[in-house]
């Protein structure tokens, strides 16, 4: 969870006994879990210190950038007033249903360590609204609920995995009630909600209008008898029994809140647009941000629809009866025709998908497998013949990173698998802009100049042998000395190539970031293509003609005082080689 939108929206909530529709939901903002908080100068009680930390987190980002906190203060006041118990239940769920570990410094500051950034951000958000996760043991979790400390007994933790796509925890409250808290993806949560829950449809309609990725958080109260009957009946503790017990425990739950997840990239894009709009120089040169979201439509697809496009699902093979006689030729021909039709249909579906995706400004593939991520990249490479770049930060992005032409890994809290499999790596996603607009553009220009000069100097060097073959009877005699042939690319013409390939910069990095349109020639292959290649060939051809025939004519028509020609093969070879070295190096400079 990176950031939350600053606009309010309507959602629906439900308590264990009563349902309260259309409650106003105020989004909240969270902080990074690894940021250090300032400690007060004077000693204060621990609870007041924690509350002060939460207040600082709500009013100021780690970098000191001010945020609009009016809506957050309004929500915080509503929580303290206790008008809506479902809001308190939501934040209490966030502070309980997790696997975060907490460390307390000497200044009584709480540092959360989470397996994933999302989980740490949710716990931090609950802390900002007064529900502070304090400590945990093997069997208990202690939290502070609006300055009131409470300890919950942990009866069971149903861990998150790729099959369940949710996490659940069963706790015994201080009053003796047993409650199951669960958070997970909307697809798996909605399947397990009570069928007679009208808030389910209302919540889904509101979320569809927002068009956002949703983390659903249901809550369920159970009696100790029901809990023991469902949980204890399936021992021994095999993986199958535990999974089945988890399914029973999370059936017929009631939704109590829906949380909107929005990326920090949207905020950064808006800030970049505002800076560009307020920059007179950028407006003069018709500059626009590199990332845009308002010119075309957006497309969001799910893994199930992607399965139909990629035909990844393996259909169950029908059992065939073993016949005494082999299959007829007609049956074999029919199977062959069916396979050809299926392959043609697959090709057409994939091409239509890529064409549709390219018409959109952004495409979001949600709930896809690592294999599907790689296949989407492969489709773009196959049908668009484009240079692809894939960026990821986790182990599930490794296949995608390896499939793309350029793989970028982000080093973070999800491990180093993506970094180890990538071509480039950095610590924050925002560095991607500089990687593409500055270093990517410089590298493209350097490579184009390097290739153009490399082809030119070698065409000029090689074609001299071609012209010389007409005068040596097409024998194996070379026009250059052997030592010159060996050192031409290594010594005599290598310095200009290295300087251009390593140090050439047409504009500074600041101008590259200020005018993103400078990146367009690289996307259209304007600096090196077939036309540029044949121009280098023609340039080398003309240079070879001049280098060979001028020395040849000069030495052929001269005569010494003794009546003999002063030239010989060695003099002609040295003269031609010297002219070649000076010509190609001056051309490069």
Q: 3-state DSSP call for residue 103?
A: strand
Residue 442 has a pLDDT of 94
Q: How confident is the model at residue 107 (pLDDT cuts 50, 70, 90)?
A: confident
What CATH number should be reported for the domain whose range is 9-262? 3.40.1110
Residue 133 has a pLDDT of 92
Say what the alpha-carbon torsion angle 94, 97, 103, 109 is, to the nearest 10 degrees: 20
pLDDT in tens, 374-418: 999 999 999 988 899 999 988 889 999 999 999 999 987 777 889
Kindly state the average pLDDT of the residues 45-59. Answer: 51
Q: 3-state DSSP call for residue 142?
A: strand
Provide the token pair at 39.
């400690």
Kindly state the average pLDDT of the residues 47-61. Answer: 50
Distances (CA, A) of 570 to 32, 479, 566, 567: 74, 9, 11, 8
Residue 93 has pLDDT above 90, yes or no: no
Kindly state the average pLDDT of the residues 121-132. Answer: 88
Residue 500 has pLDDT above 70, yes or no: yes
Of 117, 179, 95, which is closest to residue 169 (Cα–Cα)? 179
Residue 191 has a pLDDT of 76
pTM of the model: 0.56
Q: How confident is the model at residue 79 (pLDDT cuts 50, 70, 90)?
A: confident
Pairing of strands 148-158, 166-172: antiparallel
Q: How confident is the model at residue 568 (pLDDT cuts 50, 70, 90)?
A: confident
Residue 417 has a pLDDT of 86
Residue 288 has a pLDDT of 33
Residue 284 has a pLDDT of 37
**Boundaries of every domain in the chain:** 9-262, 292-314+327-432, 433-588
Question: Helical H runs in 360-440?
Answer: 370-384, 398-403, 417-420, 431-434
Least trusted range by pLDDT, from 270-279, 293-302, 516-525: 293-302
Residue 146 has a pLDDT of 84
Q: List phi, psi (to 5°) of 154.
A: -85, 115
Tell me the residue ranges of DSSP E strands in 417-529.
424-426
Residue 484 has pLDDT above 60, yes or no: yes
**First-residue to last-residue Cα distance in the chain:** 52
Q: What is the mean pLDDT of the chain?
A: 72
CB 411 within 8 A of CB 431: no
pLDDT in tens, 435-468: 999 999 999 999 999 999 999 999 999 999 999 9
Question: Helical H runs in 3-69?
Answer: 46-59
Q: How confident is the model at residue 76 (pLDDT cuts 50, 70, 90)?
A: low
Residue with tokens 């049956």: 331
Say what the alpha-carbon torsion angle 71, 72, 77, 83 is, to the nearest 10 degrees: 80
Residue 446 has a pLDDT of 93
CATH 3.30.70 fits 292-314+327-432, yes or no: no
DSSP conformation class of 489: I
Say what the alpha-carbon torsion angle 263, 265, 271, 272 is, to the nearest 10 degrees: -160
Task: Give me the percent of the chain exceeding a pLDDT of 90.
Answer: 24
Q: Which residue has the higher pLDDT, 160 or 355?
A: 355
Q: How many CA atoms are closer than 13 Å to the CA of 258, on its beta-carbon side?
A: 30
Kindly state the average pLDDT of the residues 164-177. Answer: 85
Q: How confident is the model at residue 270 (pLDDT cuts 50, 70, 90)?
A: low
Question: Helical H runs in 292-369?
Answer: 303-310, 329-359
Provide the token pair at 114.
């989470």
Question: How many Å apart are CA 112 and CA 154, to the nearest integer?
Answer: 19
Q: 3-state DSSP call for residue 156?
A: strand
Q: How confident is the model at residue 219 (pLDDT cuts 50, 70, 90)?
A: low
Residue 472 has pLDDT above 50, yes or no: yes
Residue 552 has a pLDDT of 87
Return the top range by mean pLDDT from 22-26, 52-56, 60-64, 182-186: 182-186
Kindly state the average pLDDT of the residues 66-76. Answer: 51
Residue 535 has pLDDT above 90, yes or no: yes
Question: How many Å apart are CA 217 and CA 122, to the nearest integer?
Answer: 12
Q: Which residue has the higher pLDDT, 56 or 535?
A: 535
Q: How confident is the model at residue 151 (pLDDT cuts 50, 70, 90)?
A: very high
Provide the token pair at 81.
């007033």
Q: How confident is the model at residue 164 (pLDDT cuts 50, 70, 90)?
A: confident
């Amino acid at each position: 969870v990176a950031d939350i939108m600053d606009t309010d929206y309507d959602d629906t909530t439900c308590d264990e006994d009563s349902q309260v529709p259309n409650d106003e939901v105020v989004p909240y903002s969270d902080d990074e879990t690894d940021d250090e908080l300032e400690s007060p100068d004077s000693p204060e009680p621990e609870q007041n210190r924690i509350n002060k930390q939460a207040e600082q987190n709500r009013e100021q980002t780690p970098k000191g950038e001010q945020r609009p906190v009016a809506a957050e203060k309004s929500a915080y006041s509503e929580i303290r007033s206790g008008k809506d118990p479902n809001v308190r239940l939501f934040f209490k769920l966030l502070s309980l249903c997790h696997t975060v570990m907490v460390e307390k410094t000497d200044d009584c500051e709480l540092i959360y360590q989470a397996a994933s950034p999302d989980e740490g951000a949710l716990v931090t958000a609950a802390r900002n609204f007064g529900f502070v996760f304090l400590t945990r043991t093997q069997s208990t979790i202690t939290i502070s609920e609006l300055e009131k400390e409470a300890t919950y007994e942990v009866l069971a933790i149903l861990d998150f995995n790729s099959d369940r796509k949710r996490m659940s925890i069963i706790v015994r409250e201080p009053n003796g009630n047993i409650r199951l808290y669960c958070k997970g993806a909307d697809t798996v949560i909605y399947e397990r909600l009570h069928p007679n829950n009208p808030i389910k449809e209302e919540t889904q309609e509101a979320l569809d209008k927002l068009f956002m990725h949703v983390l659903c958080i249901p809550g369920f109260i159970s009696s100790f008898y029901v809990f023991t009957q469902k949980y204890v009946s399936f021992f021994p503790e095999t993986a199958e029994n535990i999974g089945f017990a988890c399914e029973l425990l999370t059936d017929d739950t009631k939704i109590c809140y829906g949380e909107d997840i929005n990326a920090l990239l949207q905020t950064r894009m808006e800030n970049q647009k505002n800076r560009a709009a307020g920059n007179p120089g950028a407006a003069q040169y018709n500059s626009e941000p590199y990332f845009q979201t308002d010119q075309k439509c957006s497309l969001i697809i799910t893994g199930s629809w992607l399965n139909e496009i990629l035909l990844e699902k393996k259909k169950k093979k029908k059992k065939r009866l073993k016949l005494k006689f082999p299959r007829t030729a007609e049956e074999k021909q029919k199977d062959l025709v069916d396979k050809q039709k299926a392959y043609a249909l697959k090709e057409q579906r994939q091409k239509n998908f890529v064409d549709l995706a390219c018409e959109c400004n952004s495409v979001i593939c949600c709930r896809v497998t690592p294999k599907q991520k790689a296949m989407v990249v492969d489709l773009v490479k196959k049908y668009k013949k484009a240079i692809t770049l894939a960026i990821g930060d986790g182990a599930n992005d490794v296949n995608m990173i390896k499939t793309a032409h350029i793989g970028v890994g982000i080093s973070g809290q999800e491990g180093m698998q993506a970094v180890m499999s990538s071509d480039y790596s950095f610590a924050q996603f925002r560095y991607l802009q500089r990687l593409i607009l500055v270093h990517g553009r410089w590298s493209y220009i350097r490579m184009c100049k390097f290739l153009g000069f490399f082809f030119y100097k070698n065409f000029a060097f090689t074609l001299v042998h071609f012209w010389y073959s007409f005068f040596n009877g097409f024998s194996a005699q070379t026009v250059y000395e052997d030592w010159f042939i060996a050192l031409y690319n290594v010594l005599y013409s290598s310095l200009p190539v290295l300087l251009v390939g390593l140090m050439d910069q047409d504009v500074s990095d600041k101008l590259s970031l200020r005018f993103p349109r400078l990146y367009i020639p690289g996307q259209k292959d304007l600096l090196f293509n077939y036309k540029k290649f044949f121009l280098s060939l023609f340039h080398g051809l003309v240079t070879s003609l001049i280098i060979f025939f001028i020395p040849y004519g000069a030495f052929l028509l001269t005569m010494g005082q003794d009546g003999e020609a002063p030239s010989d093969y060695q003099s002609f070879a040295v003269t031609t080689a010297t002219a070649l070295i000076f010509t190609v190096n001056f051309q490069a400079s």
